[in-house]
Chains A and B, each alone.
Chain A
Amino acid sequence: MAPTSASGDQPSDKDNWDNGRLARRQQLLTEIVLRNKLTTLVFDGDTMCRVLEQVLLRSYGVQTQGVDNGRDAIALIAFGAKFNLIIIKKILPIMNGLEADSLNGSGCKILGVTACSGESERQAFLAIGVDVFIEKPLDPEHLVPILRELDG
């Protein structure tokens, strides 16, 4: 799916419910064009969320692979599949210290998404080496800067 053109550049009078932010979001959704082919692994047990995250990534031209359980995620990574970006919503048992470091070394970013971000959860994610940690939903505001950085 190519980035869709916004339906008119300005929201019409009828949909002025949140003017400023809406306009900025439209801009974000259409603006980015990646030079390189990026690949992402999306690990989210919730089907609906995983589908949405993958669709959003694909709208930016990112190739995605989705897994719904930790075992598959670990297997993919352990067997050498290369990803530019990994999106996880749960801490994989194997991903601590060493594992995360070796991934980070290869220029791979890890993004943790969660439904409720308590301080303890945030600390746990950061402790295993995720680069960014956000609360759901995954949105362009957080995603686009990361994609830009990965694109170089």
Chain B
Amino acid sequence: MDFVNQLQRKFIDYSSSLHREGIVDDQFTQLRKLEDENSPHFVMEVASLFFEDCEKLINNMAIALEQKQGVDFKQIDECIHQLKGSSSSIGAMRVKNACIAFRSFSGAQNREGCLRCLQQLSHEYSLLKNKLQTLFRVSVASRCLYVCLVIFCRENEPAEPFPDVLVFQLEKQIVAAGGSIPRVH
């Protein structure tokens, strides 16, 4: 059972590090609390929506900043506005902060400043995407493991009963890390 405990420990530590590094904030924690057995992949789905939106907006801004005949700063402002809204809704703190900084340069119609900010924004977005995808992979792995264990328990009792206490511990760890217990029929 040691590697199961290790996996859970990894998940909790990784999750904590995301908060410590400011990549996600309270709002993200809140979203995970809204997840339950009826919508076990809710946060992952919302994150996918966010990634799509974010990439589209970053692309649009890059194109707008390339325009030789004159940059449409109003369009850039609108993109930033939208991105700030969605990043704060999902709890992507560093992306949100990058938007705030970006806004002051687009407001001042400073093309060089905007280009730098866009680069920073892309960087923060890539970081967020990598970290969240890792988090989700580990979360899914833990859930699969849990399901396997429960099935193993059932099929092997009473010949080799698996200690209930270990299944219970795993449940507790999944919940403590902000996940929900999968339903096993």
The interface of chain A, by Cβ under 8 A from chain B, is 1, 4, 6-8, 12, 14-15, 17-18, 21-22, 25-26, 29, 46-49, 51-53, 55-56, 59, 89, 114-116, 135-140
Contact = CB atoms under 8 A, between A and B. Distances in A.
Contacts of B34: 1, 4, 55-56, 59
B46 A7 contact: no
A50 to B, nearest CB: 10
B16 A48 contact: no
Contact of B26 (A4, A21, A46, A51): A21
B141 interface: no
Contacts, number: 88
Nearest to B35: A4
Given A89-B85, A135-B88, 10 more contacts: A7-B175, A7-B176, A8-B175, A14-B176, A29-B33, A48-B50, A48-B89, A52-B46, A56-B34, A114-B85
B185 to A, nearest CB: 20
A1 B50 CA distance: 23
Interface residues of B, number: 34
Contacts of A6: 33
Nearest to A47: B49
A15 B16 contact: yes
A116 B84 contact: yes
Interface string B10-32: 00110110011000001101110
A46 B90 CA distance: 12
Contacts of A49: 85-86, 89
B12 A14 contact: yes
Interface string B84-105: 1110111100000000000100
Given A7-B175, A14-B12, A52-B90, A139 B30 contact: yes
B11 to A, nearest CB: 10
B30 A48 contact: no
B42 interface: yes
Contacts of B81: 115-116
Contacts of B82: 46, 115
A51 B89 CA distance: 10
A46 B29 contact: no
